[in-house]
Structure 1
Amino acid sequence: MSKAGAALRQVLKTYSISQNKLAVTMGISRSNIHRWVFEMVDPSADSVLAIRAALQKIDPAAAEMFIQLYLQNDSP
């Protein structure tokens, strides 16, 4: 399971951000976002930073939530 994909899916849902809006902000195709959200592929480290930067432009709180979820430690 991709932590980045799961985090991104939750953030997009919570903040009602469309995959298309994120893709346009990032300057990439929506299909890339779709593959990350549905955990078909993991975004690269550079892409995680780009996701954060794009979310920051759309809604700074969404960017913060994405990073917190992504960095969240799953161990007890």
Structure 2
Amino acid sequence: MIIDKFFNYKINAYTISAQIIEIMRKRKKMNINALFNEIAINNTDMNQDTLFESLGLLFLTGKIDYNLETDNMELKNEIS
């Protein structure tokens, strides 16, 4: 049972990461609070831990950057 919950949590984090990338492709720059609100609309069962784990995955893989001066996240250029 615990293993099932662990894998469901990880799958949810990857799903949220994909949604974050799609939102960032449309907006290019976004504040973390605005992003959380937009993600929460589509995922009522999501909590902040899942969002921050998803953002962590994206930061660690180099998909998004955080600009401390403007308090915005930016999607890095993607190679098609």
Structure having the larger proportion of residues in strand: 2
Instruction: Give TM-score, length-normalised by structure 2.
Output: 0.31
Instruction: Give TM-score, length-normalised by structure 1.
Output: 0.32
